[in-house]
Structure 1
Amino acid sequence: MLSASLMLAWATVCVAETEITIGVYHFPPVAGVGPDGEPTGLVGDLVDALEQTHENNSFRVVHTSPKRRFLDFDAGLYDVIFFESPNWGWTDKEVTISRPILADEELYVALKKPGRDLSFFDDISKRSIVAISGYHYGFAGFETDNSVLQRRFNIEFSDSHSRSLELIKADRPSVAEVAIVSYSYLQMHLAEHPEDWSKLLISDKPDQRYQLSIIARQDGPASAEKMMQLLAPLVKNGQYRRLVEKWGLQLPAGFLTSFEAQQASGVLNGH
């Protein structure tokens, strides 16, 4: 009986559910949090797909903000965050980082006016800028301290791409002449508001291009490598690619072929 009890206890441990806490902040269409507290955007779809694929793992979402995400991580409120660039303040933290799994870029947007062309964006430090508080921007050297940014630039802080575009269309040059908006969000916005094609001047050069990874706590319940293992079935059956494309986002160049090569070599299986 003792042997049977030990075997039962061992089996129970083996199938015990692992809870993985995921930090999510407003970063559409990559991520967001709905009125019911549930994740939206690509992250929302991905969490649903992971829950359906891996019954022995539960994924609890922790709502954070662009400014607060590092404090909340340091406080241990969540252990994993999807779709972050290591350059956005993670390099000095005890984390594991996956290879890039998503790509996007941010563009400058202004109001179309007679005589205004793309040279308007040549030096945006001369313009009044609207930017989202807590986001990292190329033009600012990835500085996120609002007080520093206000000393260096004529800058207004927004809480969403939607509000940033509304400020641009309001034509108040003293408040906002240039907004920085992600390519994926801009495509989504223009699909929903095609009339804005004739209203907005969009830069042909990005503020930054980024490749985004999974970042996980070094001593947490799931490393970045473990998260890639959980993602593997969704990549293999094409579901991850379909979710990315659904939200107008892009996979990094060579992602699928390199993923298949790594899987074949056993890297993603922990060998």
Structure 2
Amino acid sequence: MNPRRPLKTALLYLCLPIALGFTANVSSETEIAVGAYHFPPVAAIHDDNEAAGLLGELLAELEAAHQDVTFRIVHTSPQRRYLDFEAGLYDVIFFESLDWGWESRPVDATAPVLVDEDVYVALTKPGRDQSFFDNIADRNIVAISGYHYGFAGLSTNNAELQERFSIEFSHSHRRNLSLIKADRPSLAEVAVISRSYFRMYLEQNPEDSGRFLVSDVADQRYLLRILARKGGPISHKRLEQMLLPLIEQGRYQQMVRNHGLQQPADLPGH
């Protein structure tokens, strides 16, 4: 009999709880799959599936403050977001309006955490004023495929919208503004742009500040929330709790301002 065998056995049992404890700590970390699509300046998705904009900054702050949670970006699109959700590819999506097709889906929503609006943008021309936007349905429109618009009754069915309106779809606000600047009225007279994006665009392109006529009346104004799958790995209440310290410290509000966005008047905990 090897006299050293009992010692080895004893050491094995002494080490076992430590190893088990380490495993428990690793497995207690919750990975949250976050659906995200290009929605600047709220969110921009890079080729490496990393999020930028307000979403990227906020997720980094939440991960730093909560070591038991990690966020994994699932790149979707405005049109595909519902199919990807129904397929179980992600369980949380940030900065969505409940009016944007989520009413009948199994999600719980936080209180509003962001507010924005869409405006009509046309080329400045002599004699052109706000009356140019009176009958949007009579104009040649450029818009983003999959986005919800007030003038269209929030429908995202491109085929239906092209039957009802003279409308051109793209995947970029920048492209749509370029079409307006090109002064091709037979193709594009009015672009529908989020106010936050338009503000960011003018900051980056100050030489264009006088080139556009912007509607005084918004196409729609929307309150944006965080949506979590019912029965998913994290609840909307838990997400609100995670966000609350950043709001109380003023850190979240600063991030919102840095990206040219606006917080709702009744921001939770504020």
TM > 0.5 between the two? yes
AA aligned to 1:184 is: S
Between the aligned partners of 1:195 and 1:57, the Cα distance in structure 2 is 44
Deviates more, 1:8-17 or 1:71-80: 8-17
Runs of at least 5 residues in structure 2 that lack an aligned partner in the other structure = 1-12
CA contact (8 A) 1:15 1:56 kept: no
1:164 aligns with 2:176: yes
AA aligned to 1:190 is: L
Aligned-pair RMSD on alpha carbons?
2.0
Deviates more, 1:149-158 or 1:36-45: 36-45
Match of 2:10 in 1: none
| CA-CA distance at 1:251 after TM superposition | 0.6
Residue 73 of structure 1: which of 78, 85, 94 is its match? 85
1:244 aligns with 2:256: yes
Between the aligned partners of 2:73 and 2:36, the Cα distance in structure 1 is 7
Match of 1:214 in 2: 226
Residue 185 of structure 1: which of 186, 194, 197 is its match? 197
Between the aligned partners of 2:67 and 2:228, the Cα distance in structure 1 is 20
AA aligned to 2:76 is: T
Instruction: Report 1:100-119 matches (<5 A).
Output: 100-119=112-131
Instruction: Report 1:38-77 matches (<5 A).
Output: 38-77=50-89
Q: Deviations over 1:201-250 (max 9, x none)?
A: 00011000111000111021011111111111211222111110100001
Which entry has the higher C-alpha Rg, 1 or 2? 2
Q: Deviations over 1:77-105 (max 9, x none)?
A: 00000000000000000111111000011
| CA-CA distance at 1:196 after TM superposition | 1.2
AA aligned to 1:152 is: R
Between the aligned partners of 1:198 and 1:12, the Cα distance in structure 2 is 60
Between the aligned partners of 1:159 and 1:139, the Cα distance in structure 2 is 19
| CA-CA distance at 1:67 after TM superposition | 0.5
Runs of at least 4 residues of structure 1 off by over 2 A? 8-15
TM-score (norm 1): 0.90
1:174 aligns with 2:186: yes
Residue 269 of structure 2: which of 249, 254, 259 is its match? 259
Q: How many pairs does the alignment contain?
A: 256
Between the aligned partners of 2:235 and 2:149, the Cα distance in structure 1 is 27
AA aligned to 1:259 is: G
TM-score (norm 2): 0.90
